[in-house]
Amino acid sequence: MDYYQQLLIICPLIFLSGFIDSIAGGGGLISLPTYHIAGFSAHFALGTNKFASSIGTIFSTMRFVKNKNYNLTSAIPSILFALIGAAIGAKIAVYLDVVVLRYVLIFSIPVIAGIVYKKKNLERRTTKNLSKVKIVVYSSVIGLVIGGYDGFFGPGTGTFLILIYTSVLGFDLLTSMGNAKLVNLASNLASLAVFIVEGKILYMIGIPAAFCAIAGHYFGSGFAIKKGQTIIRPMLLVVLALLLAKLIADVFTT
């Protein structure tokens, strides 16, 4: 497969993954397999994907921050503890079989999807009954747990952050998405630094892919900000369905 054929496959799918990721997380469920389809080896697929998706995430995060769709009291401890959790999760992955987590998620994702489907008031929730101390404590735990999941396994991290911020802290969907973007961006940049140092990025593909990711994230975040719950809830369900399908496929192919 030559360079232009690879671009023809990668560019539209990276745009789509960025669009979806900026709304509901889970863009990696589309973008990472795209690089494999284009003939990339595992390490270069991971590195190039992280390069393009990280740059795209910067732009969607900026849009949420510009529109003040975030809660800084929650975001800062979440980011700090997510980085710690990711390091712990990566260590655990060395010793614990990932198949265990796959089966847990296969049974739990339909339950999560059912909760999202039934809840009609996610857009209007509020943290007015939580003190700043509770927000910091809960956010630290969220960051540690989901960061650990990201380091150990990864797929759907942004989606789970959105759902947990909504259900545990009572944030509306847009605030949850803004916080999730800030946490994801921090962890992405940390792992991107490793791939850059290790020389696992193909920049001839990664740079045009990054422009496609930027476009997807930009239009997706704008769409989410304008449409709110009308688009976010259905997209969350789509991402959860994609994640469930991937997990089931992994069980039967490994």
Residue 126: is its pLDDT beyond 60?
A: no
Residue 122: is its pLDDT beyond 70?
A: no
Residues 209-234 have pLDDT tens digits of 999 999 999 999 999 888 776 788 78
DSSP 173-230: HHHHHHHHHHHHHHHHHHHHHHHHHHT---HHHHHHHHHHHHHHHHHHHHHHHHHTHH
Nearest Cα to Cα of residue 209 among 74, 12, 5: 12
Residue 121: is its pLDDT beyond 90?
A: no
The residue among 127 and 179 whose pLDDT is bigger is 179
When pLDDT is averaged across residues 45-68 and rounded to a whole number, the result is 92
Give the pair of three-digit tokens for residue 124: 């209007």
Residue 243: is its pLDDT beyond 60?
A: yes
Lowest mean pLDDT among 35-49, 79-93, 102-116, 156-170: 102-116
When pLDDT is averaged across residues 4-8 and rounded to a whole number, the result is 93
Give the pair of three-digit tokens for residue 130: 């939580």
The residue among 253 and 88 whose pLDDT is bigger is 88
Give the pair of three-digit tokens for residue 204: 């001839």
- What percentage of residues in the chain have a pLDDT greater than 90? 46
Q: Residue 125's pLDDT band (boundaries 50, 70, 90)?
A: low
Residues 64-108 have pLDDT tens digits of 999 999 999 999 999 999 999 988 887 786 677 767 778 888 888
Cβ atoms of residues 147 and 82 within 8 Å: yes
Residue 111: is its pLDDT beyond 90?
A: no
Residue 128: is its pLDDT beyond 70?
A: no
Average pLDDT, the chain: 87
